[in-house]
């Protein structure tokens, strides 16, 4: 695999993201809603980097399963979403690839009468974007490569890596 982003760079970017979020919400209570499973590591680091009254929630949304590297049908499980009525909500995902996941999640949260809904991602594959919006916050723009580490996986492996790496073609069996 080829390292793209070192662990120290990620930590600096997450800290900066925390400051940007604080500046935007200016002390207002916030619910950070992490998209399972890829955002879990980012979520845990980000909530420690933000000095705001925070509630944490989770939502399960997946279009990549097992050893596949191509997007399938998006499956959303809303059962873990906390009450977000009249609250600012930040949807947090590991990667903004085509954008379809967040495009489907935003109206779900809006329909639960959230005060506002914004989005943040660790990685953005800008050239792959297929939707008519961009994430409100992102830490890094990356090339169109299949990446793992810091929560991102291939066949449920590599999430534990503290850095972001691109898998080589021979490492992808799907």
pTM score over 0.85:
yes
CATH number at residue 35: 3.40.50.2020
Rounded to an integer, the average pLDDT of 146-170 is 94
Q: How many domains does the chain have?
A: 1
User: Can you give the residue range of the structural domain that contains 117?
Assistant: 2-171
The pLDDT tens digits for 55-85 are 999 998 876 555 444 556 777 877 888 999 9
Question: What whole-number distance in Å separates Cα of residue 141 and Cα of residue 126?
Answer: 7
Q: Of residues 156 and 119, which shows the higher confidence score?
A: 119
Q: Of residues 72 and 146, which shows the higher confidence score?
A: 146
Among 93, 97, 153, 169, the one annotated catalytic: 97
Report the chain's mean pLDDT, rounded to a whole number: 91
Among this protein's residues, is 132 annotated catalytic?
A: no
Question: What whole-number distance in Å separates Cα of residue 86 and Cα of residue 35?
Answer: 20
């Amino acid at each position: 695999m080829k390292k793209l982003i070192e662990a120290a760079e990620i930590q600096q970017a997450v800290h900066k993201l925390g400051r940007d979020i604080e500046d935007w919400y200016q002390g207002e209570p916030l619910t950070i809603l992490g998209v399972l499973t890829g955002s879990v590591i980012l979520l845990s680091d980000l909530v420690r980097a933000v000095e705001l009254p925070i509630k944490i929630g989770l939502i399960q949304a997946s279009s990549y399963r097992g050893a596949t590297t191509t997007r399938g049908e998006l499956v959303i499980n809303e059962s873990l979403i906390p009450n977000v009525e009249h609250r600012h909500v930040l949807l947090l995902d590991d990667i903004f690839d085509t954008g379809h996941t967040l495009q489907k999640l935003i109206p779900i949260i809006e329909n639960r009468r959230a005060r506002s809904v914004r989005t943040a991602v660790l990685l953005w594959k800008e050239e792959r974007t297929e939707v008519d919006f961009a994430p409100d916050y992102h830490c890094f723009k990356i090339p169109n490569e299949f990446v793992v580490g810091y929560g991102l996986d291939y066949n449920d492996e590599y999430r534990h890596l503290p850095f972001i790496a691109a898998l080589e073609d021979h490492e992808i069996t799907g």
